[in-house]
């Protein structure tokens, strides 16, 4: 591959997005979920970028998932009106939610406690408004949620139903990120599905409606063998992929669409160090591969044309300095010739969401080598 001449004009570090790979990733997930016979509700927190979400919708995505109300604001303004806010709601955000809903946004909420459900019900009664609320289910003990067999599930469901607010159940199988190997991922995807469906069945057996049964993570979406009892699957990081996903076997390094373009600024030959202008402010401090069989440091290094250099990682990072070294710690005699000052490298991220969050825009590289700018937003 030949580096794009357009890259030579960019001041680094920048978030570089491979458009062809992005579109392949979107198609791959849409096809996988479609084959299971349910809808894909993309999670837009990874990219936080309207042009990316628009491509997910064009590919067949139904609605979106957000992790902040800022995302709900931005995407609703861009024409997305079927939105699930997949973080437990708290009372001081309900006025914001109410404003969005009264302007036509079909924003759905989640709760995992009687107290949170009561707050939503009370706010709805005070404002003469019926919210749409899903009960979050804990399928793996990793984060939030009500256990599928817990007595309080029925209590929460009944409280919401009496206020006309019960919309269903949802879960996020975050434990999938700790799985190793194909069989373990397949088994975990089934655990996520079956336990969420169990919760839905319990609500229905108690005479309560459960129209939405929503599960999801990128690993479970791609390794699920059944979606029986589900209405939708959610996934997000698949649009970019990252080294954590590659370490799980969910994708290959070549499937990662996001990289950080950086410039060599110096060397420490005796130490085998190549210094670049992308430190943790550009790469993030996420070390998600540290617990995997292959530790990729702060990111895996590629040549400017995107070719992976398997022997080289960003092994250490200061605020604006990255230290690139060989994985074996060797100090090649031709270090300065191999990596001349001013030459460009790309760094693949451990966690695409965290790395993308360091930037306000993406430099999007198309198949012709042209670079365009797509805006990205942050905040809550």
pLDDT tens per residue across span 84-115: 999 999 999 999 999 999 999 999 999 999 99
364 DSSP β-pair partners? 17, 372
209 neighbors 254 (Cβ within 8 angstroms): no
Residues 319-334 have a mean pLDDT of: 95
CB neighbours of residue 87 within 10 Å:
16
Average the pLDDT over 196-200 and give the result: 98
Counting beta carbons within 10 angstroms of the beta carbon of residue 25, is it exposed (0 to 12), middle (13 to 18) or buried (19 or more)? buried
Query: What pLDDT shows up at residue 348?
Result: 98
Task: Please state at what angle helix 182-205 crosses helix 151-162, rounded to 10 degrees.
Answer: 60
Q: What pLDDT shows up at residue 269?
A: 96
Average pLDDT over every residue of 9-28 = 97
Residue 137 clears pLDDT 60, i.e. is over it: yes
Same-fold call for 5-15+257-375 versus 36-238: no
Q: What is the dihedral of CA 128, 132, 137, 141, to 10 degrees?
A: -70
Confidence band, pLDDT 50/70/90 cuts, at residue 310 = confident
**What pLDDT does 125 receive?**
97
CATH 3.40.50.2000 is held by the domain 36-238: no
**Residue range 153-157: average pLDDT?**
98
- Mean pLDDT of all residues in 164-176: 96
Domain ranges of the chain: 5-15+257-375, 36-238
Q: Summarize the confidence of residues 282-309 as an average pLDDT.
A: 96
pTM for this entry: 0.95
Q: Is pLDDT at 201 greater than 70 in this prediction?
A: yes
Confidence of residue 1 (pLDDT cuts 50, 70, 90): low
Mean pLDDT on 43-66:
98
DSSP conformation class of 137: B
At residue 43, the pLDDT reads 98
Give the pLDDT mean for 154-158: 98
Protein fold of 5-15+257-375: Lyase, Ornithine Decarboxylase; Chain A, domain 1 (2.40.37)
The pLDDT of residue 4 is above 90:
no
DSSP state of 360: S
Q: How high is the pLDDT of residue 5?
A: 85
What are 181-192's pLDDT values in tens digits? 999 999 999 999
Under DSSP, the state recorded for 35 is H
**Cβ(109)–Cβ(120) under 8 Å?**
yes
Model pLDDT, residue 359: 98
pLDDT at 157: 98
Q: What is the pLDDT of residues 205-261, one digit of tens each?
A: 999 999 999 999 999 999 999 999 999 999 999 999 999 999 999 999 999 999 999
Percentage helix, strand, coil, to 5, in the chain? Answer: 35, 25, 40
pLDDT at position 347: 98
pLDDT > 70 in the chain, percent = 99
Report, as an integer, the average pLDDT of 149-169. Answer: 98
Mean pLDDT value of segment 307-313: 94
CA distance 125 to 164: 11
In DSSP terms, 373 is beta-bridged to 363
Summary mean pLDDT of the chain:
97
Average pLDDT score over residue span 312-318: 97
Task: Tell me the CA distances in angstroms from 27 to 209, 239, 291, 324, one per residue in order.
Answer: 33, 9, 30, 34
Structure tokens at 20: 């062809």
Give the pLDDT band of residue 6 (cuts 50, 70, 90): confident
């Amino acid at each position: 591959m030949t580096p794009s001449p357009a890259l030579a004009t960019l001041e680094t570090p920048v978030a570089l997005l491979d458009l062809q790979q992005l579109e392949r990733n979107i198609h791959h997930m849409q096809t996988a979920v479609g084959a299971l016979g349910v809808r894909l509700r993309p999670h837009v927190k990874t990219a936080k970028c309207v042009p990316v979400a628009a491509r997910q919708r064009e590919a067949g995505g139904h609605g979106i998932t957000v992790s902040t109300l800022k995302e709900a604001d931005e995407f609703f303004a861009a024409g997305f009106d079927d939105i699930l806010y997949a973080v437990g709601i708290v009372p001081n955000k309900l006025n914001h939610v109410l404003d969005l809903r009264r302007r036509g946004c079909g924003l759905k909420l989640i709760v995992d406690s009687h107290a949170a459900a009561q707050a939503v019900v009370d706010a709805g009664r005070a404002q003469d408004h019926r919210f749409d609320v899903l009960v979050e289910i804990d399928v793996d003990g990793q984060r939030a949620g009500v256990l599928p067999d817990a007595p309080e599930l029925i209590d929460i469901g009944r409280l919401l139903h009496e206020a006309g607010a019960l919309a269903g159940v949802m879960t996020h199988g975050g434990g999938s990120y700790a799985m190793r190997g194909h069989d373990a991922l397949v088994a975990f995807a089934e655990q996520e599905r079956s336990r969420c469906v169990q919760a839905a069945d319990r609500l229905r057996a108690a005479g309560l409606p459960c129209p939405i049964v929503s599960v999801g993570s990128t690993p479970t979406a791609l390794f699920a063998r059944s979606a029986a009892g589900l209405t939708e699957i959610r996934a997000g990081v698949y649009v970019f992929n990252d080294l954590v996903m590659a370490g799980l076997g969910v994708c290959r390094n070549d499937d990662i669409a996001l990289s950080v373009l950086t410039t060599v600024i110096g060397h420490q030959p005796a130490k085998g160090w190549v210094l670049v202008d992308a430190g943790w402010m550009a790469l993030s401090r996420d070390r998600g591969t540290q617990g995997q069989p292959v530790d990729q440091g702060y990111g895996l290094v590629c040549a400017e044309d995107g070719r992976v250099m398997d022997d080289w990682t960003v092994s250490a990072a200061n605020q604006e300095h990255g230290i690139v070294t060989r994985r074996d710690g060797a100090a090649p005699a031709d270090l300065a010739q191999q990596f001349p000052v001013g030459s460009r490298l790309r760094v693949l991220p451990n966690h695409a969401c965290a790395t993308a969050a360091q930037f306000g825009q993406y430099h999007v590289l198309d198949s012709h080598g042209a670079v365009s700018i797509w805006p990205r937003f942050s905040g809550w």
